[in-house]
Structure 1
Amino acid sequence: MEVSKVLHMNGGMGDASYAKNSLLQQKVILMTKSITDEAISSLYNNLSPRETICIADLGCSSGPNTFLPVSQLIQTIDKERENKGHESLEFHVFLNDLPNNDFDTIFRLLPTFHESLRKQNMGEDGLFDPPNCFVTGVAGSFYTRLFPSNSLHFVHSSYGLHWLSQVPDGIENNKGNVYLTSTSPKSVYKAYYEQYERDFVSFLKYRSKELMKNGRMVLTMLGRKNEDRFSKGCSHEWELLATTLKLLIAQELIDEEKVDSFNIPSYNPSPVEVMYIVEKERSFTIDVLKTSEIQRNSCDDEKYNMVKSFRSVAEPLLVSHFGHDELNMDQVFHKYNEVIANDCKAIEKIMFVNVTVSLAKIN
């Protein structure tokens, strides 16, 4: 699996799209708003009042969530600007994801985004004084260089950095699993962690070159609360998928060898692991490092469907490995729904642990 070419969420605005099934991810962005507010306010207080602020959102995906953190950041800075009596600012926003991301949907939502900025900045006299905001799409892996040196003020990423640049090498003995589980050999866990460390070090190294003096980052990734590798968490979704695929093997609807060669390019780090890698790489200091929890079925919204939400993330990976002809996706997720229905505690076990870190560049 060549991750940079196949990893993306379901595009468009259809029933199985990420845009329609990412309420949980939206909730996480809102949960971490206080950390991003503090970081962007601290950044603004160290800038020239007339400076154009350059913000990059890495792993932006598509749909309404793409513009949510950007809107929050701009609104927070604009309040700081008003409090200081400074003139209106200009913003240059870079929205980054891998090349197969649905950038078309992002660009179609731009007029709505600009309209929301205007409404946010309506004065008491009913006149608009919105900040000038220029948006650019940037296709590429954030494990490579993306921007010129010293060109960014602020980097934000939510639910992107647990994805790896590749499926780790040397995990052929992870048969029966599609991710890390209690039955995975120790060598598989070691391979996953080492791939994560290499990727995160690369990410930090490249961002340190791209960020300006006093630059900041706030990163939220799926992780673990502690050093228990197999604690209850989002990995249970992948275990349920493995169970689903085994049932399809038993029905002779899919080849067992093909399933054995399928592994998810993702790793959920602990706060200790994040701290260790940041300190080892030595380009940033940690201002905030904290965890939060959210259950997969915690969205009180009639539009939210847990299986559809998981499908919007998992389907492109399945299609890239098995192909539409070999594996019927409607059939897979119908069976996945049955697996959950037959396990009364399945939903309780799906807990997302979010590791959020706020970083300042060491100048």
Structure 2
Amino acid sequence: MESKDMIFMKKGDGESSYAQSSFLAQRIASISKPVVQSAINSLFHENLLPYKALNVADLGCSAGPNTFTLMETIIESVKSKCGELNCQLPEFQFYLNDLPVNDFNTLFKGSSSFLERYEDVSCFVMGAPGSFHGRLFPTDTLHLLHSSYSVHWLSKAPRLVDKDGLPLNKGKIYISKTSPPSVKEAYLAQFQQDFGLFLRSRSQEMIPDGRVVLIVNGRQSSDATSKESNFNWELLAEAISHMVSLGLIAEEKLDSFNIPYYMASPEEVKDVVDREGSFAIEQLDTFYIENGDRAIWDNEEKIAQSVRSFTESMMLHQFGIEILDKLYANFTHILIRDLARQTEPNKITSIILVLRRNVRLPSP
């Protein structure tokens, strides 16, 4: 099953929705704000502005407040730069992209409120449903592209069965200490394929010297089985296994399920960019947030609520609606237990990547 058929953030604007639970994503948007501002400044440096219209795409935007934080950062940065250069403010065209199953209704409600704050700016917002694992926009149209906590989602989970069709990752849903090496190799190969296709697609859509800002959930360790890579997935697998032991979930349902998600290292990200060849790396950094940081989450239940907001659609698709509340209650209990046992905080690592679209060479 392809990801586009089963992955969407929890819809609506209720307490447990992604719009109200994306605490980590909101913190990351705040941390990465200077990077977006720097990318805007680089566009001016390359004499790409002033343009009559600045075309910006936010890929994997979901329906939370983070897209509007991005839009505000871009508008205010451009206004400031145009003031410095005494040039006319361009019109803004924002393309908000996510899979067709995304909650665009909640997103557009939020965009209407946002636009009311910028009545003095010529600003247009358009939904762009579709998978970013392929083309989304016309050739040579985008000046700035942004994606936060989306590119680590794969187009599909790798096929993890042996030559006899038996599951390779039995009892697990992601790369684990107990997973055979072939599981990690299959996940890496799927990431390389998907991220390479992402870059090729964007290279056709962006103007030469256009900028890409990516914030990716990744890892600092070279070990794909490290705790920073699989913390939530290990606990979720444990919760599902407990449901299997109670006879509430069939064992084969667990053994056939793997998360379409890969937490790459900076070296793995750089390798794909270099081999694809359409972009030059202007910045590649990492930063981390402690899982359980009270500046982000009030309590452990809020962490569990946040995890549910971006995993529920997959659990629903694989295991059915009847077990969801029990599954996440069990997950919350396991999470609280595990965090209490920790001797040092678990890190959530983010990779910040800023790319410049290389100038296309004329065909021979």
Q: TM-score, length-normalised on structure 2?
A: 0.92
Q: Note if contact 2:78-2:89 (Cα within 8 Å) is conserved in structure 1.
A: no
Does the CA-based 8 Å contact 2:27-2:296 persist in structure 1? Answer: no
Counterpart of 1:121?
none
Q: Confirm whether residue 353 of structure 1 aligns to residue 358 of structure 2.
A: no
Alpha carbons 2:10, 2:16 under 8 Å: kept: yes
Structure-2 separation of matches of 1:349 and 1:316: 28
Task: Tell me what 1:164 maps to.
Answer: 154
Quick one: which amino acid aligns to residue 291 of structure 2? R
SS at match of 2:217: strand
| Residue 30 of structure 1: aligned partner | 30
Deviation at 1:117, TM superposition (A): 3.0
Percent of aligned positions with the same letter in both sequences? 38
State whether structure 2 residue 330 is matched by structure 1 residue 321: no
- 2:164 alignment counterpart: none
Aligned residue for 2:111?
110
How many residue pairs get aligned? The number is 350
Equivalent position SS for 2:19: coil
CA distance in 2, matches of 1:133, 1:18: 26
In the TM superposition, residue 303 of structure 1 has moved relative to its aligned partner by: 6.3
- Matched residue of 1:67: which SS? helix
Aligned to 1:269: 264
Q: Which runs of 5+ in 1 are unaligned?
A: 119-129
Q: Deviations along 1:262-281, whole A, 9 cap, x unmatched?
A: 11000011111111111100
State the 1:111 CA deviation. Answer: 2.1
Structure 2 counterpart of 1:154, from 144, 148, 151: 144
Aligned to 1:133: 123
Report the CA distance shift for 1:350/1:256 in structure 2 as closer, same or farther (over 3 A).
farther
> Given the alignment of the two structures, is residue 339 of structure 1 paired with residue 330 of structure 2, yes or no?
no
CA distance 1:77–1:177, shift in 2 (3 Å): same
CA contact (8 A) 1:71 1:117 kept: no
Cα deviation for residue 84 of structure 1 reads 0.8
Which position in structure 2 is the counterpart of 1:17? 17
CA deviation string 1:287-312 (max 9, x = no partner): 00000001232242676711100000
Aligned AA (2:16)? A
Contact 2:227 2:346 in 1 (8 A): yes
Once residues 263 and 357 of structure 1 are traced to their aligned partners in structure 2, the CA distance between those partners, rounded to angstroms, is 27
Q: Is the 8 A contact 2:43 2:49 kept in 1?
A: no
Residue 232 (1) aligns with residue 227 (2): yes
Q: Is the CA contact 1:54–1:154 (under 8 Å) kept in the aligned structure 2?
A: yes
SS in 2 for 1:20: helix
1:94 aligns with 2:84: no
Give the structure 1 partner of residue 307 of structure 2. 310
The 3-state SS of whatever aligns with 1:117 is: coil
Give 1:49's aligned residue: 50
Structure 2, unpaired ranges of 5+:
162-166, 360-364
Report whether the alignment pairs 1:65 with 2:60.
no
- Among 193, 203, 206, which residue is 2:201 paired with? 206
What is the alpha-carbon root mean square deviation over aligned residues?
1.6
The corresponding residue for 1:127 is none
How far did 1:51 drift? Answer: 2.6
Q: Distance in 2 between matches of 1:303 and 1:20?
A: 13
Counterparts of 1:301 and 1:26 in 2: how far apart (Å)?
9
Picking from 248, 251, 258, the partner of 1:253 is 248
Q: In 1, Cα distance between the equivalents of 2:72 and 2:294?
A: 22
Tell me the distance in 2 between the aligned counterparts of 1:194 and 1:301: 34
Question: 1:144-177 deviations in whole A, cap 9, x for unaligned?
Answer: 1000000100100000000000011234310011
